[in-house]
Structure 1
Amino acid sequence: MQDRDRFFREEYMAPTHFTAIALAAAGFFSTGLLYADASADLKATVDRSMKAMGAENVKTLAISGQGWDGCVGQPYNPNTPWWRKFSNKDYVRSIDFEARGWRLQRIRGEGENPPRGGCGAGPIADQTQNLVVMAGATAPWNTQLEYIFLPEGFLRVALEKNASISPETIKGKKYTVISFMGDNKAPVNGYINEQGYVEKVETRIDNNVLGDTVWNAIYTDWKDFNGLKFPARIEQYQGPPKFFELAVTDVKVNVPVDLTPPAGRGGRGGPGGPGGRGGQPPSSLSEDLGDGFWLITGGYAAIVADFKDYIVVIEGPQNEMRAGQIIAEAKRLVPNKPIRYVVNTHAHFDHAGGLRTFVAEGATIITHQVNKGYYEKILKDPHTLVPDKLSQMNPQPRIKIETMTEKKVLTDGRHTIELYHVQGSTHNEGMIVAYLPKQKVLLEADEFNVGPANAPTPASVNPYHTNLLANIERLHLDVDRIIPVHLPGDGRKVTMAELYTAAGKSKP
């Protein structure tokens, strides 16, 4: 775990336990916010903190500021200390604590400079958003956490959950720690300093790539906003890159909050954490590409290759379920041979989410050099909240990774796969395409996500498309068919002519 994730956890000491009597003697006992099932110590601690923050009578808050939020699993480089950034301009989050809901208004746009990364296949334009989120007890847990990751929200839920309290001294600083069990069976801990302010809230959530993922919110630079003490800086981290940052410029107390869903849109769950295990994709189907190669459809695309003594699979995407479907189809098509290699186009989580399942099969991952250290680390991370096949194996299989930079060729003398680095990609630094020279087929991910058939050249050409075309021409690849990992909805075969049209170029 990185140093940032050990925040508040080093140099642990256990001083004398605070009691309700001691808190009352200190003047922190009141009767404003009491829950019948909560212990006297907990009530006193929460009441002290609410009073210190001036939040005893707060029913609503409208928080204004500027900042950014991240798209988990979609950075340009997997080793970046933040998730793919989206800017938040004119940010206003209006929370009704009693209704456990909020309205979020903002202009969300490009947050990277230069623009790069996933969560969209091309440049990101500013988008005005007006969202209503309800985070009641029946909402998904990650949505509830967006409410809990507010100091006032955390204290309210702590009372509902009849949390425990304990003292800790961390780096010489005393805290009262309030803890309760989350709906996902991971503890939620809040750290209250000697002034009574909630400095940090932390828990763990499941991510099918990262496993047990630390998600925390850190509150600093506390200021007085018309009698309410509130952090002027809020940061959130997920596993451990930074996920959210807000510079708070104003906080209004007890203003009306309209939780009526925007017309035609309805309420929704919050952004929550990184994606979960995913739902059931359609059953896999296979298309014979000729000479021992098959396209696997029914979800994100993959290609199965029947080499002399083993199987090669190109792409291990989405999640354990999808990877299991691809593996089962590969074994049906090519019985009695092991899967020796799985080729990974890039490290974005929707394209790497099935790699753990292939590792459990004993396969070697082929990926770009930039991903090697990252994969070696995260493939060993614990998955205890939602155990998968790999985490339950004993002994654990060896993690085998082969890397490439600009080109790698796999061949058994008859079958050939050529792998190339996509130079100039702004989607992912380690992007790889796979070319089948006999079939004249190119498999690519996110560089050309096709739209409707027979679409004309757009008024604004996507630079992803011109860059992919430039790479194909640079490498002198003779391509008849392009297979996007994000397959077209109509199931059509995508030709080079479509790429030329999308890129605004004439086919030679």
Structure 2
Amino acid sequence: MDCRKRSRTNAPLSLASTLALALAAPAIATEAPHDGDPVPGKSHLGCDGMDARACVGQAITAMGGRQKLGAIGNVHYQTTGHTALTEQSYRQQPFITAYERDDLMLDFDKGRLVRVAHVTWPESDPHQSEITQTLVATPHAGVYRGEKGDSPCSLADLDTTRDALALGPERLLLNASAASDLHYAPSQWLRGTAHSVVEFTWEGAPIRVLLNASNHLPDAMESTRTFHDFWYAWGDVRQRVYFDNWHLFQGLVLPTNLVELRNDVPWQSTQIVDANFNNKLDDKSFAMDAAVASKSAQSKGWDRPFSDKSRIELAPGIELYRGSWSTTLIKQDDGVLVLEAPISSTFAQGILAKAHDEYPNTPIKGVLTSSDSWPHIAGVRQAVAEGLPVYALDLNRPLLARLVSSPHSLHPDALQTQPRAPHWIDVAKKTEIGRGANRVVLYPLRGASTERQYMVYFPQHHLLYASDTLALNADHSLYDPQLMHEVVQAVEREHLQVDTVYAMHEGPTPWNDVLKLVSAAAN
């Protein structure tokens, strides 16, 4: 019988019957728990009656046993993955993505790694997006190999190396089991499933491991740390690494997919596509220039100090301090403006101190922050801590509000130790500051790639600061011509007369030269 025909011939239900059916129907399920929510009224699910060390031992057994897990002396992985470029996506979320295919050797016995990374970088110019980098590192020193020799790796690379050797799935449970302070933490939900949680301290940071109550495998690792990459700006960053897509390898059950979230942002995903264990290793593969490698651990990372060694007077009272991230002091009749507070509170503290030294007894009128790139805004916390007005693009206010309210308890800065409310001045349209020769006018760019930036114009000097748009390649061509194309459009829209332009990463450049470069890129 055709059930559809039958349903159409049935007489409609009476109101009383409808109500009766509704009352008899099972209640709609409540919202599923979110990852990280506590499991109410439960103790150590799947580990009842065990202490934390026995619970971890049970998880080790689920992965294949302590003997087999501990016998992994080295691994050779082929991986593919992607990273969200959170720090520099032109419109923030959803983020631009970089892609990577790696050849990775991890030597657990001697504490070292070699990673050959083939990266596809989406922000590169055409035909320049493919990059190959070779990192050789230990937890304490490392280098990048190049045609001209080794160069020091970053503090972030050392962090990544330490994590891979100690907190990856091959060693995580073994290190937890050996920790003297291993203990239970409150049980949590993860992907709708209850998990026991154990916690231990690793290099000063509490590490939590979430153990599935049913199969006892470690489904995730959590920590709260200060990172030395672009996430440094956010202080205490919540990290969760999911372990998934479990496979059987030589009697071991190991995850082949690692997905890392930071502050709840899906940041990085890595998939193992091939794996080999306990290969015969050639020490030459791990060789590096020891003198160069030692410099990697000496780096200040993103907490670098301000330097006034490269100073350019753009006009009387307008001083550019060039570096990887440049800043400008603008002396006006009634005070000083600081154009950009990048990198860190330490760096911003230095440029603000320089303003006081250069112009004693002259107030700092405000700090101009012209874009949303995380390294460009990291020092805004120091400006807020010193009670200075901050001129921010209207579209960037939510991001900046999160930045200044982010906890920095692990490495306290001035705003953490002495909190105060920010004084925002929105730049939503043409905004003039000051009078006289060094009067400035702020103009939101509003382009497709420059939507979160504003430019700073000095009318008396026909000088333009173009935020984060102007950068020249080694052959003097434009890096990402679209950015300067949008600046040219904005200059024409606002009827500005420009002789010279400069930006966060580029020194003063004749405007006519830029026009020619934009025109050449368009043809």
Superposed displacement of residue 241, structure 1: 1.9
Q: Which residue of 1 aligns with 2:326?
A: 301
1:170 to 188, 196, 207: 188
Superposed displacement of residue 135, structure 1: 3.0
In 2 relative to 1, CA 258–478 (structure 1 residues): closer, same or farther, beyond 3 Å?
farther
| Greater shift in the superposed pair: 260-269 or 298-307 | 260-269
2:80 to 58, 61, 66: 66
Superposed displacement of residue 7, structure 1: 2.5
Q: Which residue of 2 aligns with 1:437?
A: 459
Distance across 2 between alignment mates of 1:21 and 1:323: 53
Q: Which residue of 2 aligns with 1:105?
A: 116
Superposed displacement of residue 200, structure 1: 0.8
> 2:269 matched to 1:209?
no
> 2:99 matched to 1:87?
yes
For 1:78-157, list aligned pairs within 5 A.
78=92, 80=93, 84-89=96-101, 91-110=102-121, 115=122, 125-135=129-139, 140-157=158-175
Q: Secondary structure at the match of 1:327?
A: helix
Superposed displacement of residue 384, structure 1: 0.8
> 2:514 matched to 1:499?
yes
In 2 relative to 1, CA 278–317 (structure 1 residues): closer, same or farther, beyond 3 Å?
same
For 1:224-373, list aligned pairs within 5 A.
224-225=248-249, 227-257=251-281, 260-261=284-285, 276-283=301-308, 287-290=312-315, 292-297=317-322, 300-373=325-398
Would the aligned equivalents of 2:225 and 2:410 in 1 still touch at CA under 8 Å?
Answer: yes
Give per-residue Cα distances to partners, 1:182-212, cap 9 Å, x unaligned.
32x3211111223232111111222542110
In 2 relative to 1, CA 70–148 (structure 1 residues): closer, same or farther, beyond 3 Å?
farther
Superposed displacement of residue 439, structure 1: 1.4
Q: Which residue of 1 aligns with 2:90?
A: 76
Distance across 1 between alignment mates of 2:282 and 2:396: 45
Give per-residue Cα distances to partners, 1:209-262, cap 9 Å, x unaligned.
211011221112323345432224320012232221123333333344556458
In 2 relative to 1, CA 447–225 (structure 1 residues): closer, same or farther, beyond 3 Å?
same
Distance across 2 between alignment mates of 1:142 and 1:130: 14
For 1:443-462, list aligned pairs within 5 A.
443-450=465-472, 457=477, 462=481
Q: Which residue of 2 aligns with 1:188?
A: 207
Q: Secondary structure at the match of 1:242?
A: strand
Point out the structure with max Rg over C-alpha.
2
Q: Secondary structure at the match of 2:183?
A: strand
Q: Which residue of 2 aligns with 1:179?
A: 199
Distance across 2 between alignment mates of 1:128 and 1:180: 37
Q: Which residue of 1 aligns with 2:64?
A: 51
Distance across 2 between alignment mates of 1:196 and 1:481: 64
Instruction: Tell me the amino acid that sits aligned with residue 170 of structure 2.
Output: E
Q: Secondary structure at the match of 1:313?
A: strand
> 2:30 matched to 1:11?
no
In 2 relative to 1, CA 484–136 (structure 1 residues): closer, same or farther, beyond 3 Å?
closer
Superposed displacement of residue 344, structure 1: 0.9
Would the aligned equivalents of 1:109 and 1:127 in 2 still touch at CA under 8 Å?
Answer: yes
Would the aligned equivalents of 1:122 and 1:463 in 2 still touch at CA under 8 Å?
Answer: no
Would the aligned equivalents of 1:286 and 1:296 in 2 still touch at CA under 8 Å?
Answer: yes
Instruction: Tell me the amino acid that sits aligned with residue 102 of structure 1.
Output: L
| Greater shift in the superposed pair: 202-211 or 290-299 | 290-299
In 2 relative to 1, CA 298–463 (structure 1 residues): closer, same or farther, beyond 3 Å?
closer
2:445 to 422, 435, 448: 422
Instruction: Tell me the amino acid that sits aligned with residue 318 of structure 2.
Output: F
In 2 relative to 1, CA 457–16 (structure 1 residues): closer, same or farther, beyond 3 Å?
closer
Superposed displacement of residue 482, structure 1: 1.9
Q: Which residue of 2 aligns with 1:485?
A: 504
| Greater shift in the superposed pair: 349-358 or 305-314 | 305-314
Question: Which structure has the highest helix share of the two?
Answer: 2
Would the aligned equivalents of 2:63 and 2:252 in 1 still touch at CA under 8 Å?
Answer: no
Q: Secondary structure at the match of 1:55?
A: helix
2:483 to 441, 444, 464: 464
Would the aligned equivalents of 2:45 and 2:194 in 1 still touch at CA under 8 Å?
Answer: no
Q: Secondary structure at the match of 1:135?
A: coil
For 1:372-451, list aligned pairs within 5 A.
372-393=397-418, 396-405=419-428, 407-412=430-435, 415-424=438-447, 426=449, 429-450=451-472
Would the aligned equivalents of 1:409 and 1:418 in 2 still touch at CA under 8 Å?
Answer: yes
For structure 1, the residue ranges without an aligned partner over 5 or more in a row are 24-38
Distance across 2 between alignment mates of 1:175 and 1:334: 59
In 2 relative to 1, CA 46–335 (structure 1 residues): closer, same or farther, beyond 3 Å?
same
Once the two structures are aligned, what percentage of the paired residues are identical?
Answer: 18
Distance across 1 between alignment mates of 2:406 and 2:344: 16
For structure 2, the residue ranges without an aligned partner over 5 or more in a row are 1-30, 143-154
Q: Which residue of 2 aligns with 1:26?
A: none
Query: What is the root-mean-square deviation of aligned Cα atoms in Å?
Result: 3.9
Give per-residue Cα distances to partners, 1:403-462, cap 9 Å, x unaligned.
234533323466421222334353x5402221111111111233222356xx5658x984
Would the aligned equivalents of 2:468 and 2:505 in 1 still touch at CA under 8 Å?
Answer: yes
Superposed displacement of residue 125, structure 1: 0.6
Give per-residue Cα distances to partners, 1:152-210, cap 9 Å, x unaligned.
22223334543403264334845343322232x32111112232321111112225421
In 2 relative to 1, CA 410–282 (structure 1 residues): closer, same or farther, beyond 3 Å?
closer
Q: Which residue of 2 aligns with 1:27?
A: none
- Which structure's relative contact order is higher, taking Cα pairs within 8 Å and 6+ residues apart? 1
Would the aligned equivalents of 2:306 and 2:350 in 1 still touch at CA under 8 Å?
Answer: no
Would the aligned equivalents of 2:471 and 2:505 in 1 still touch at CA under 8 Å?
Answer: yes
In 2 relative to 1, CA 319–261 (structure 1 residues): closer, same or farther, beyond 3 Å?
farther
Would the aligned equivalents of 2:59 and 2:217 in 1 still touch at CA under 8 Å?
Answer: no
Q: Secondary structure at the match of 2:171?
A: helix
Distance across 2 between alignment mates of 1:494 and 1:137: 39
Distance across 1 between alignment mates of 2:341 and 2:444: 18
Q: Secondary structure at the match of 2:396?
A: helix
Would the aligned equivalents of 1:60 and 1:254 in 2 still touch at CA under 8 Å?
Answer: yes
> 2:171 matched to 1:158?
no
> 2:245 matched to 1:221?
yes
In 2 relative to 1, CA 196–436 (structure 1 residues): closer, same or farther, beyond 3 Å?
same
Superposed displacement of residue 375, structure 1: 1.2
